[in-house]
Homo-oligomer: A and B are copies of this chain.
Amino acid sequence: MTVQRILIVSGTHGNEINPVWAVKQFSRRENRLNYGIEYEYIIGNPVAYEKGSRYIDKDLNRSFKECKNFDQRKNSSYEINRANFLVDEFGINGSKSCQIAIDLHTTTANMGTSIVLYGRRCKDFCLAALLQNKFGLPIYLHEKDKFQTGFLVEAWPCGLVIEIGAVAQNFYDPNIVNRFSLIISSLREEIDKLKNNLIELPKELVIYVHQGSIDYPRDEKGDIDGLIHPERINQDWKMIKQGDPLFIDSQGMVHKYDRDQLIWPVFIGEAAYKEKKIAMSYTKKEVICSKKQWVQEFESL
């Protein structure tokens, strides 16, 4: 196996400050070169971080799309340019090439510590299985959503998001920092064990597969006219069945889930998703068998 360099990105959203702090603590403690694996630490969006805002022009974590045409690039937003810079510098063909990208995020939703994958890539499954095996973290698989594309980790051959909540934007929480520190420091350990054949992946993986998103109730002017129902708020990952309450509107009317497919919600009430017209996303639960190929592909990185 040839994994040599792992990119750890924090502050991809400038108002998610706890991972930045965790990385800061970690990188000072850490001998950067060890076990043959080196870490590269970077603040994804330093200008937004400085301002305490999610982004400057547009969401950096939706800006990693092919944009290699020079004319296009010179006129584009801060975040498009930043995305290109990160890939040019730390991408697989970059001057400081990294094989794996780990992107650290927080959410105002009550998600706990979770893993987000983008698409069904064997290498990602291998990495996710290592972490799920060690910590029992839930895995949210984001795929087939044409409204949400251009995520950072997709620009690397292997990578995933660690998403931890609930915590307010721009609010330091030592417990959240500690949770990130634990994940970062375990990561190399786990990869190292895998390398030395000391880990067997679990037989199966439980994943929550993205199906779509639900908007808030809105009034005739298009303004939000409903709250997440008190029985639904903070109940991320908890199954919703037909007839369960989703929202309560300003008239006191309860909006119920009216389909017969069981769903599992994530990002309930996430503050940053209001502008994306997402009150929550929903998933179906799927069990997949782990494959030898996952490890093989991971080892070929």
Which B residues are CB-close (under 8 A) to A230?
174-175
A169 beta carbon closer than 8 Å to chain B:
yes
**Would you call A260 an interface residue if the criterion is a C-beta within 8 Å of the partner chain's C-beta atoms?**
no
Known pairs A166-B168, A275-B52; A28 contacts B174 (CB<8 A) = no
Q: Is A25 an interface residue (CB 8 A)?
A: yes
A274 to B17 Cα, complex, angstroms: 12
- Per the bound structure, the CA–CA distance linking A15 and B229 in Å amounts to 20
Q: Are B52 and A171 in contact (CB under 8 A)?
A: no
**Cα(A25)–Cα(B175), bound, Å:** 35
Report if A248 contacts B (CB, 8 A): yes
Q: How far is the CA of A115 from the CA of B229 in the complex (A)?
A: 27
**Bound: A263/B59 CA distance, A:** 42
Closest to A170 in B: B271
- Hey, what's the 0/1 contact readout for A213-237 against B, CB within 8 Å counting as 1? 0000000000000011110010000
Contact of A171 among B168, B173, B251, B275 (CB under 8 A): B168
Residue contact B25 to A174, C-beta cutoff 8 Å: no
Give the oligomeric copy count: 2
- Chain A positions 1 through 39: 1 when the CB is less than 8 Å from some CB of chain B, otherwise 0: 000000000000000000001001100100000000000
In the complex, what distance in Å separates the CA atom of A171 from the CA atom of B271? 5
Contact A174 B227 (CB under 8 A): yes
Kindly name the residue among A170, A229, A250 whose own CB sees the greatest number of chain B CB atoms within 10 A: A170
Of A52, A168, A227, the most chain B CB neighbours within 10 A belong to A168
B274 x A170 contact (CB < 8 A): yes
Complex contact A169–B172 (CB within 8 A): no
- Asked if A171 meets B269 with Cβ closer than 8 Å, knowing A28-B250, A251-B28, A274-B52, the reply is yes
B-facing residues in A171-190 (Cβ within 8 Å): 171-175, 177
Question: Contact between A21 and B227 (Cβ–Cβ < 8 Å)?
Answer: yes
State whether B228 touches A172 (Cβ < 8 A). yes
14 A/B residue pairs, CB under 8 Å, sorted by A: A24-B250, A28-B251, A52-B274, A108-B171, A168-B271, A169-B170, A169-B271, A170-B271, A170-B272, A170-B274, A171-B269, A173-B233, A174-B227, A175-B230
